[in-house]
Structure 1
């Protein structure tokens, strides 16, 4: 009788989840779709489409606008993108992640008492990647001029009505911001008053940033006057940013405040166009960026989950939740040890990690009756015909799995170490942002830009906030021999845009903010659509689970700050009592909230009707416009 009652509750929960009215409507369009983290930035995308631009132009305009609005990123951060090119019918990847500067070594950071590079300040900064990524994408795959694409962002830099979320973030972090003179000048517009940050709705002006953007446009104009091509003119703006007077002021301002970045660091850095990684899940090709991101962990989880009949388990039943949780733990354990910059030795064993046979081996480790707190990295090397050179190192990795010392939140700041759900929810909303764009000609863009969030160090009089991405490196090779900090190297980041093709055509383009939770949320979003038939809005609003049985990629400079919390799980408030009781018996330590995912943005391609379906999460400030 008890089993029948449990099944009834699970079925009722599943049916209600499918049948409920979404809190935001699905977006529909047949010509284009523009979705991002701020309403004004979505408008910038729409304006660019109305100028005749394609999805790449619109995505670049939204990227520029969100960076100008400090939507938990700025111009000095990093950009990572997937683009579907309808001319070649292929997905390409853009790696516009900055690198560790000259002098950034384990010895340097250890000498300052760190176990990881710092969370904030000039020593947290990699070289800026977003300007180079934007210019590269626009030059090679866009159609409009830089001046046309930057027009909305430049108008906003001249003054726009700031929203409460960002303005309040300035105020919360004002003590830190006061340590850096150029940040203080830009962010604290009412010095000495009780509230020193702007108020919501106040016109927020960024004169220095406007001057920097103007210099880039001037470089393009001058190049065009000399008869250069559109592409070469845009790259002239690139050269002025990374090699010219903008670079000189950036480096001067960074060094003045204790930063390491040099002119040579900026000149040597370049965005890279790459082949994405891919797996096929039940006939759907899923694409992610390479192992310098955490993206392949979702691909690994899909390979593992393909060995189970998830649909028959029921959406968010205890068995489904347990299986998803275990699969994510297995893939994140591999992420934490094997992922890093592919352009530096040693070479990551990605062929083995993404092998279907390796996934079957990992799937057999899942214990059906309880959570396994001791899940660790596997050995993918035999699945690519090699011997694992790190077996001895893995044995040294026996850190105590202390469940009491680490904040559950994917930390993006240093305000406090509280494990409250309020702090967790705040950080989910603040994690990064996403940009999704598609057009009737077949171009599709998915971007997860980030870095330079508040509290950011502004580099001199550039108006450019410096990245904080150095904190995602490790100093101890025992933690991850592939991700040890080194000058010129990219840290392994959490940022992870996604794209899926079915029958050789775009099927889904999707991304989310939220640190280490990103590929957890995106995995479940994808399964909601593919396994449970939800539309993109239902799937973006649906209840997620979050595991914290992983090494945090952000937050804290001590090893104990980042250790896994085995069995920690975040569940939605609506989780039935029967499911809660069953999970408790399995050894889970449960937390609950009505928000269990960062804001997911997505586009579904309806080939039957020749239209787009847009989804944008029902919390945070993410917003979309379609036509």
Structure 2
């Protein structure tokens, strides 16, 4: 591809995608290279242990596919297992506060990760390159090191405790390895300009590059995760990893005035976007001064109604009957 734009939160990730385009890869190849690199240089935002969702539009067929590789609870989890541990809700209504923060910190907290499964589907069905091609930059940054950028530091140090959530430094510093990698001796995240090397992550990425994602979901890495979980009272097992499947479906579609919209399906939050726009379609926003009090009030009310509907009606489609036609 001779022309393209790569957008990412960190320049190293964007550069990784651009290098793939220059090497002849297509947009999907570049997106995967970008995402894997982002997981190295911005570890609190994404990574191979994370989850995600993708929309892919095929210009030839005109079809848009949604691939949800969101996290799922381990098979041993039960809907009522933490009922007695609930202490309240976060200040921004974006989660619940549990005793000892067991839902956010420690070996019982993780969902079964989906990123690598989703990336693999994208690469196989829409890309042109292989895993060794798209992990090259990520491996180089893991082995050689990456510079802590100001926004990485800012996010790591912002006061999540004020909302009732676990502080990000407690998350990355939960293990001795994490503390050594990411924290200063005073417990704060390493300062902007610091160099972080993560050769163990580099080794894992090299294994994925040479053996594919089965090494993570069914092979040696899965076995190591299983052993660590069992040793520390965790919920996730090797079987959970081996059984994980991404969900593929046509994109959820809607419209806003004359525009056709495509977004992800539940359990993603695309349906909230569609409902918000459906509400706003009933208002002539052009009559309101941009960012005036009335303009912001209308937007805020629309977002609030859609958020409440999502909160009350939307969940994992495997367990919840989501009223798509009503909300979108």
Query: Taking structure 1 as the reference length, what is the TM-score of the superposition?
Result: 0.46
Is 1:145 equivalent to 2:130 in the alignment? Answer: yes
Deviation at 1:122, TM superposition (A): 2.4
The 10-residue stretch of structure 1 (106-115 or 37-46) with the greater mean CA deviation from structure 2:
106-115
**Cα-to-partner distance string for 1:527-555 (whole Å, 9 max, x where unaligned):** xxxxxxxxxxxxxxxxxxxxxxxxxxxxx
Match of 2:222 among 242, 247, 254: 247
Partner of 1:106: 79
Tell me the distance in 1 between the aligned counterparts of 2:298 and 2:189: 46
Match of 1:211 among 195, 203, 216: 203
Tell me the distance in 2 between the aligned counterparts of 1:272 and 1:156: 31
186 and 254 in structure 1: CA distance in 2 versus 1, 3 angstrom threshold = farther
Tell me the distance in 2 between the aligned counterparts of 1:177 and 1:151: 25
Deviation at 1:136, TM superposition (A): 1.3
Partner of 1:122: 107
Partner of 2:327: 353
Deviation at 1:170, TM superposition (A): 6.1
Is 1:57 equivalent to 2:29 in the alignment? Answer: yes
Aligned length: 305
Where do residues 224-373 of structure 1 align in structure 2 (5 Å cutoff)?
237-344=212-319, 346-354=320-328
Tell me the distance in 2 between the aligned counterparts of 1:119 and 1:169: 17
Deviation at 1:175, TM superposition (A): 5.3
Where do residues 559-570 of structure 1 align in structure 2 (5 Å cutoff)?
none
Tell me the distance in 2 between the aligned counterparts of 1:310 and 1:157: 47
In the alignment, is the contact (CA less than 8 A) between 2:148 and 2:190 conserved in 1?
Answer: no
Deviation at 1:142, TM superposition (A): 0.4
**Cα-to-partner distance string for 1:338-393 (whole Å, 9 max, x where unaligned):** 0011122x411111222xxxxxxxxxxxxxxxxxxxxxxxxxxxxxxxxxxxxxxx
Deviation at 1:42, TM superposition (A): 0.6
Tell me the distance in 2 between the aligned counterparts of 1:324 and 1:194: 43
In the alignment, is the contact (CA less than 8 A) between 2:131 and 2:210 conserved in 1?
Answer: no
The 10-residue stretch of structure 1 (265-274 or 149-158) with the greater mean CA deviation from structure 2:
265-274
Query: Taking structure 2 as the reference length, what is the TM-score of the superposition?
Result: 0.85
CA RMSD of aligned residues (A): 2.4
Tell me the distance in 2 between the aligned counterparts of 1:177 and 1:318: 40
Partner of 1:222: none
Deviation at 1:71, TM superposition (A): 5.2
Is 1:47 equivalent to 2:19 in the alignment? Answer: yes
195 and 317 in structure 1: CA distance in 2 versus 1, 3 angstrom threshold = closer
What SS is found at the alignment partner of 2:203? helix
Tell me the distance in 2 between the aligned counterparts of 1:144 and 1:181: 36
In the alignment, is the contact (CA less than 8 A) between 1:154 and 1:210 conserved in 2?
Answer: yes
175 and 61 in structure 1: CA distance in 2 versus 1, 3 angstrom threshold = closer
**Structure 1 stretches lacking a partner, 5+ long:** 1-28, 220-236, 355-627
In the alignment, is the contact (CA less than 8 A) between 1:38 and 1:71 conserved in 2?
Answer: no
Tell me the distance in 2 between the aligned counterparts of 1:95 and 1:314: 38
Tell me the distance in 2 between the aligned counterparts of 1:284 and 1:176: 41
Partner of 1:73: 46
Deviation at 1:197, TM superposition (A): 5.2
Tell me the distance in 1 between the aligned counterparts of 2:219 and 2:178: 23
Tell me the distance in 1 between the aligned counterparts of 2:187 and 2:252: 48
333 and 174 in structure 1: CA distance in 2 versus 1, 3 angstrom threshold = closer
131 and 334 in structure 1: CA distance in 2 versus 1, 3 angstrom threshold = same
What SS is found at the alignment partner of 1:107? coil
If you compute each CA radius of gyration, which structure gives the higher value, 1 or 2? 1
Is 1:161 equivalent to 2:133 in the alignment? Answer: no
Tell me the distance in 1 between the aligned counterparts of 2:281 and 2:4: 33
What SS is found at the alignment partner of 1:311? helix
**Cα-to-partner distance string for 1:16-36 (whole Å, 9 max, x where unaligned):** xxxxxxxxxxxxx98111001
In the alignment, is the contact (CA less than 8 A) between 2:218 and 2:238 conserved in 1?
Answer: yes
**Cα-to-partner distance string for 1:394-437 (whole Å, 9 max, x where unaligned):** xxxxxxxxxxxxxxxxxxxxxxxxxxxxxxxxxxxxxxxxxxxx
Deviation at 1:180, TM superposition (A): 2.3
Where do residues 386-535 of structure 1 align in structure 2 (5 Å cutoff)?
none
Tell me the distance in 1 between the aligned counterparts of 2:30 and 2:55: 14
202 and 316 in structure 1: CA distance in 2 versus 1, 3 angstrom threshold = closer
Which is bigger in relative contact order (C-alpha 8 A, separation at least 6)? 1
What SS is found at the alignment partner of 2:135? helix
In the alignment, is the contact (CA less than 8 A) between 1:98 and 1:269 conserved in 2?
Answer: no
305 and 168 in structure 1: CA distance in 2 versus 1, 3 angstrom threshold = closer
What SS is found at the alignment partner of 1:74? coil
Tell me the distance in 2 between the aligned counterparts of 1:300 and 1:333: 11
What SS is found at the alignment partner of 1:106? coil
Tell me the distance in 2 between the aligned counterparts of 1:305 and 1:268: 41
**Structure 2 stretches lacking a partner, 5+ long:** 89-95, 158-166
Deviation at 1:60, TM superposition (A): 0.3
Tell me the distance in 2 between the aligned counterparts of 1:254 and 1:267: 15
